[in-house]
Structure formats: structure tokens, C-alpha cells
Structure 1
């Protein structure tokens, strides 16, 4: 290892002693690495590993995923958010089976042509599965490099990103991309975290931010826009012990997920008025509120939702289960409460289901 720089050697030695036992590190199978990397985007490690293990147990090969039904893939993904990732996994798996023999391509440009595969995912898979000298820059690597080299531009700016990717590539030791890329990511997760453990860090002598006493000021955050408040209302319509749910269209927010019908509260109306109006506009059903179930608050990247949920009933008597006239959905179903677990809901609606399950007031239909 005499050809390694002190920085490279220190990180590799640290990784050798501190590497965690993670599912994709057993074989570095390209399919398993790819699945793991996509799941771990926007997901904490401990929570993500549970999803990875469950996903690979159900879909152990590229072929098994390519043959899957989208509804089942989305259900396994439920709770991770950013459902476009799950859909892209399915599309990419089908493309790899059809065009690449069921394997993740070894060429970076071919890999990046797959649905949902960008610069990071391509680099992560090619470096870990094939030991190719392709860089990776995630939030962990951003922290490490911005502190080591005192990157004073906002971390998401083009200036900072260009420097980080060029630096990440230049640091990869020849023939050791798999180990080094994992080492710097692991280091950023366990040592150089949001609250850095400088007392445990073996790189302090090489860290410019530590020398300047500004570790807590690196990386420089991007300017954050305040989340836009959104007030919505949804209705749990119960009829003869069954609940109506509908499937969202493939375009727009939460495409293809199931929901309790509702919509945005308009200016001058109450949430209760909103949900009654939405049922008429979306389904042509005349309903009334029986009671308010809960107010659920749920934050997303760019907006903050306040969801008022109501228990609803038909105004008039109906024999059987009425058929809706669907204006805002692709499909509608009457289901028992127990059957709701088979369907994939947005996070706010899943919270509502869990809340109802714990509330003894609704034991009569739960």
C-alpha cells in the first residue's frame, strides 16, 4: 500500500476495522447492490436495511422483479416515500432483462440510460459491484469532502458539486474503488456525521475545516425555502361495514396509490364542507359528515400538509354498494377495514388508518 496517499490509506484502514455487516456486502452482487442503493436514497441506514432484506427476500433476482406486479412492488415500498423510485426499479429491471441479459450493465453510459439511474446510482453500483473507478457523492461524502477541503460554496451549488465529484474521482486508489467508495461513505455516516465525532476522527490533521475551527459550518447548507402549507380534507365513507377507497391517476401527486377521497380546502369553506363537495365532484355521491376523526399533519420536502379526516355516510339509503362515477381516479373499491393493508396509501392516509385501528370508537367497523 506504499502507493497510497495518507488520506487514502487512513480511510481504507479505518474501513477495514469498522465496516458494518450489511446485506449487499456479502457478495457484492450487482442486483443486490443496485436495490440497496436505491432504497437507501432518502432513507436512514437502520430503517433501510429492513426494507432491503424484505425486498430481496421477495424478489431475489432481477428476473423475479421484472415479472412482478407494480401493485406488489409499491406495497413493499410503502413507508419509504418517493414512489417514483419503486416504479423506476420495476421499469429498469424489465429493461435489463429485455436488453442486458438480466444484469446491471458495466458501462456507465448504458447504466445511466436506465430509468431512475443517475450519476450517483451508476457510480455506486459500478464501483461496488464491478470495482470500477467511478466516483460517488452522497450526503455522507459531501460532509467529509466539504470539511477536508473547506468547501465554502453552498453544498448543492454547481460550483460545489463540480468540485466534489472531481475530487471524489481523483481520490479513488487504482484497483480499490469498491473499498474506498464504501470507506468514505461509511466514514461520513459514522464519524463525520451531521454532529461530527472529531475526537474519534483519524483525519483531523488533514482536515482544513478542523484546522480553521469551522467544522460545524461545513458543509454550507443550500438556501431552504419554507415549506408551503396545504390544507386538505379526506373522507372515510363507511357503508354496510365496508369502506370506499380510490386509486389515484398515473399523473400528478402519489400516482397509482390508493386514498380516501378528498381534496384541497378552498378559500371560504370549512374542511367538512370541502370533503362533502369533493365527494360530489369526484364521485357524484351525496354524503354527509358523521364525525371528525382526526387532524393529521405530515411534512414533505416542499409542502406541509394538514389533513382533516372525517367519517362519512350517504345522505340517502342505498341497497348494496353504489358504483361511483369516477372523475378524479382510475379505480374504486369497497373494502373491509382489514383489507386496507393490501393497498398502498400515501403516508398521511396510512397514519389515518393506523389511528383508526387504535381508536375504540371505531371498533364496530375495524
Structure 2
């Protein structure tokens, strides 16, 4: 086991153990809310543009809540990118009398009035993964500016000695998502200093089709030889960007984020250069712990590891560390960390690529 593997596994275990012990120590029958509704609302934003929410966040949060509070249940809905649908889901939870809502907003800028309405009803809102506007009770995410820095540096590393003369295309996430702005800021801090120029920059809105359209526009404008690398804010968009580049006969480094299974396979086959692995279990454990604390009427500052400033407010937070995944580190990151099994990654046509990357199946 190498140093990177130890850091990931130790970090995940430390966060999970600390939070689990804290929550379990409170018992199911304590706190001012012990006699009330123990339903925790969970509202996630996407299905089509990112597989992570249905595949990882939802089941992990549900399992963690159950482990921490046997009398708690999770009421789940996914807006699939529809802000109006998410508002209806939020209002439905309020009408059911839930006391805590974990909210990953479709449009973070529009949630202040939602949070105000919830507060008036005595409902606590926890911003999950994206920082929602308003006086939320807590915030759980990864260090998103650091994520952008890692993305930018991974692209520079892939370019090597060509970086100083490289023209880069940037396809960012949705402008309504504050995380996208932080990814962009962090990436620019690296790219603006280390590449020749960011020649084209647009929002892909977290939509693969939109990202492909923007990439085709850049190819049309700058030609086959005018682009040396592409920054994609996530893996879903990276897949469509790579398809556009291949169709145009262009082979340049392309990076993403989320460590989706298809992206890991693209990395192994050489089509995608890197992704960002954000271990979902510690994030889900942190969210579940804070939600259970609030359901029980307990003080969450004892389990918060940071404070996040938002419009003059200081919000108790848990901010976790992301990890870069390249062809050389697939085994020591997403496989060693338990995100995927080697047999799952290396199925069918990816068996040889896994063998060349030193990944052992079975």
C-alpha cells in the first residue's frame, strides 16, 4: 500500500469514525426534538448530467442515517436539473412536517426564500455539496477552490514542457452553481500562470450536449492545431467533449471531475487524462451526522471542523479534501478507496488497459 492509498483510507476512516462516534453517543432518545418527526428530507439536484447522486450520495446518506439513528427515516427526491421541481419537492417536505432538510440545490442563488420559509416553520436546512443561499444551519462539501486548482495543475502536468505554449479551452459548470465558480477560480489560478492562454471559455451548464456544442464552436474557430488542452468541469461534459474532439481528429489532454465509472475507463484507455475523486462516504457521513444532530436538537458546532462565510453569516461546515486520479493512480485511489471494484472497472474491453496499468482483478 503506497502513501497516497494510506492517506485516502486513513482520512476516510478518521472522518467516518469521528462523526459516527459523536452521533451514536447521543442516543436516539435525547434532545429537544426526540418526541417529534424524525424524518430527514434529502433533495438532490441531478440524474442525467451526473451519475454520482443516484449511485453514491443517496444510498450512502440513507445508510449512514440508519446507522446513526434507528428511528430516523430519509424522504428522498431528485429534481433532475429542474429548479421548479425542486421547489415543489422542498415545499412538500415542509408540508409533511420534517424538521431537517439536506438540500443540494439546482440553483443555489434562489434558495434564500426557501430557507427563510423553512426557518419560520422550525425546519433546519443543511446545504449539501453546494452552498445554498440563505441562513442555512450547516454546510458539507469539498474544498471546491482546491478542486479547481487540482484540475488546472493536472492539465498542466499532462502538457509537460508544452504547457507554456499551450492554448486551453475551458468548459465550466453551470453559472447558477456556486461550486462551479469556485472550480473555475481555482483552475484559473493555475492555468493563467502556467499556460500560454485560455483562448475560449464558456459554461457547459453541466449538460453534455451543451458542452459538446461549445467544444464544436471552439474547434470551428481555432482549428485542429489551435487547441492544446481542454478543461472540463466534470466528467459528464468531458465525455461529450472528447467525442467532439475525436470527430475533429484532435487528440489533446482533457480532464474532468467526479470519478464516474465511464471516466475512469476513459482514463485507462487513454481518452481522458484525469478526473477528481471526492470520496463520497465521508461527505455522506458528515451530512448524515449533522442531520441526525439537528433532528435530536443537538449542537452541531461540536462536529463541525470549519466555518464558511456566506453573505456575512458564519456557517458550521465540514470541508473535505479531493484527490486527482490519473492512469497511474486508478488502483491507489478509486479502487483502494472502495469506490469501485477492480472487476467492475476492468470488465470487457478494459481488461487489457487495466493490466497495463497494473490493476489486478480478483
TM-score, L = length of structure 1: 0.23
| Larger-Rg structure | 1
Greater relative CO (CA pairs within 8 A, separation 6+): 2
Tell me the TM-score normalized by structure 2: 0.23
